[in-house]
A = this chain, B = another copy of it.
Amino acid sequence: MSPAETVHVPLDGGRAYDILVGRGLLAGIGPRVAELGARAVAVVSDTTVAGLYGEAVLGSLREAGLRAGLVTVAPGEGSKSYATLAAVCDGLLAERIERRDLVLALGGGVVGDLAGFAAAILRRGVRFVQAPTSLLAQVDSSVGGKTGINSPHGKNLVGAFHQPVLVLADTATLDSLTPREMRAGYAEVAKYGLIDDPAFFAWCEARFGEIFAGGPARETAVAACCRAKAGVVVRDEREDGERALLNLGHTFAHALERLTNYDSARLVHGEAVAIGLALAFRFSARLGLCPGQEAGRVANHLALAGLPTTLRAVPGGCGDADSLLDAMRQDKKVRDGALTFILARGIGRSFIAPGIDPGEVRAFLADELERDPRS
């Protein structure tokens, strides 16, 4: 089956790769992986996704003449841990994955980050393919080569830059997501508009229902996000500059995830990002950088998509302003102790703001903690 859309990621050093986007692509994954020249493939997945697509994927790989095995982990952010990383590495070794073989990450962002990191460090690096099955993974985490796990000190603090050799985004897999998972992924879709593409944000406002329902707008949106992200990654692979814009909303989001102990029953990444996006715009407005009505438009659209947009919307709470500030300090974007935020002058007009005064942030957070969760 031909993909509806192909996004090429022209990285140097022989590391260019394609992102294929289309409905039903998983059924034909075997021949596409076989073209990459491996002898064996280890599929890494979580038990939920493996139950849905594992047999079909293994069958397609084997039909294409590849030796294929399966390594599974528990679903959820808790698997981005040192212990699960060790179990995956040992699982890949038990599958006798050699330097020329492949790891295939089949699942959402957790599986992709974890399997990609395991591939990066197994025998000091083997190739890997991303087959993202969540909206969040298809539009964000599967593209760009950031892999990693969480530490008790914070999210994604241990990891590697390791680019996939192929990304295959089967949009039919999104039909099996819960509404909550779909909404969470949608926060990252909206983010691309907010960063630098006001027309895309306006298109999202008009068409987001179709993305959720599975009309052709879904492939258009996934490909648009991949194209936006790929462009940034090619220009700034290691986040020395521009790539940091992709973290719009994420300094807040990572702190919230940390303070809720990465407990997905309370908060998943995309929900944290939605709150973070709303906060980034309101903080920008408070600093006089962005019109207040733009911040309101952002929060309204996210709320319309069913996403939380306030600190008090976090089930079980998220601590006080000082705990939030402390959690933010552990972010990788800390440099010499000062806080760097991604702020905005309006929708589609984000920028990197280094050296933000922690006192300003604390005062903002204290006010936000008073805000009505329905506002």
Residue numbers of A with Cβ under 8 A of B are 39, 82-83, 85-86, 89-90, 93-94, 98-100, 117, 120-125, 146, 148, 151-154, 157-161, 330, 332, 334-336
B151, B160, B336: the one within 8 Å of A89 (CB): B151
B89, B94, B157, B160: the one within 8 Å of A120 (CB): B160
B89, B100, B332, B335: the one within 8 Å of A158 (CB): B89
CB-defined contacts of A121 to chain B, threshold 8 Å: 117, 121, 148, 158-160
Please report the C-alpha to C-alpha distance between residue A332 and residue B153 in the assembled complex, in whole angstroms: 33
The 4 tightest CB contacts between A and B, nearest first, are A82-B86, A93-B153, A124-B159, A123-B332
CB-defined contacts of A125 to chain B, threshold 8 Å: 160-161
CB-defined contacts of A83 to chain B, threshold 8 Å: 82
CB-defined contacts of A157 to chain B, threshold 8 Å: 89, 93, 122-123
CB-defined contacts of A122 to chain B, threshold 8 Å: 157-158
Please report the C-alpha to C-alpha distance between residue A151 and residue B319 in the assembled complex, in whole angstroms: 39
Please report the C-alpha to C-alpha distance between residue A83 and residue B82 in the assembled complex, in whole angstroms: 8
CB pair A124 B146 closer than 8 Å: yes
Closest Cβ–Cβ distance, residue A160 to chain B (whole Å): 6
Known A-B contacts A121-B121, A158-B121; the reply to A151 vs B93 at CB < 8 A is: yes
CB-defined contacts of A161 to chain B, threshold 8 Å: 124-125
Closest Cβ–Cβ distance, residue A316 to chain B (whole Å): 25
Main secondary structure, interface of A, reads mixed
Closest Cβ–Cβ distance, residue A155 to chain B (whole Å): 11
Please report the C-alpha to C-alpha distance between residue A338 and residue B305 in the assembled complex, in whole angstroms: 56
CB pair A160 B160 closer than 8 Å: yes
CB-defined contacts of A336 to chain B, threshold 8 Å: 39, 98, 100
CB-defined contacts of A100 to chain B, threshold 8 Å: 335-336
Known A-B contacts A124-B146, A157-B123, A158-B121; the reply to A151 vs B90 at CB < 8 A is: yes
CB-defined contacts of A335 to chain B, threshold 8 Å: 98-100
CB-defined contacts of A99 to chain B, threshold 8 Å: 332, 335
CB-defined contacts of A152 to chain B, threshold 8 Å: 90
B94, B148, B151: the one within 8 Å of A124 (CB): B148
Known A-B contacts A125-B161, A160-B160, A161-B124; the reply to A153 vs B334 at CB < 8 A is: no
Closest Cβ–Cβ distance, residue A320 to chain B (whole Å): 22
B82, B93, B153: the one within 8 Å of A94 (CB): B153
Please report the C-alpha to C-alpha distance between residue A334 and residue B93 in the assembled complex, in whole angstroms: 12
Please report the C-alpha to C-alpha distance between residue A122 and residue B124 in the assembled complex, in whole angstroms: 15
Closest to A154 in B: B93
CB-defined contacts of A120 to chain B, threshold 8 Å: 160
16 A-B residue pairings within 8 Å (CB atoms): A93-B154, A93-B330, A98-B336, A100-B335, A117-B121, A121-B121, A121-B148, A121-B158, A121-B160, A122-B157, A122-B158, A123-B158, A124-B146, A124-B148, A125-B161, A160-B160
Closest to A94 in B: B153
Please report the C-alpha to C-alpha distance between residue A161 and residue B99 in the assembled complex, in whole angstroms: 14
Closest Cβ–Cβ distance, residue A246 to chain B (whole Å): 14
Please report the C-alpha to C-alpha distance between residue A335 and residue B96 in the assembled complex, in whole angstroms: 11
Please report the C-alpha to C-alpha distance between residue A86 and residue B123 in the assembled complex, in whole angstroms: 18
Closest Cβ–Cβ distance, residue A182 to chain B (whole Å): 29
Closest to A121 in B: B158
Please report the C-alpha to C-alpha distance between residue A288 and residue B121 in the assembled complex, in whole angstroms: 38
Given contacts A121-B158, A124-B148, A125-B160, 6 further A-B contacts (CB under 8 A): A82-B83, A82-B89, A93-B330, A98-B335, A99-B332, A117-B121
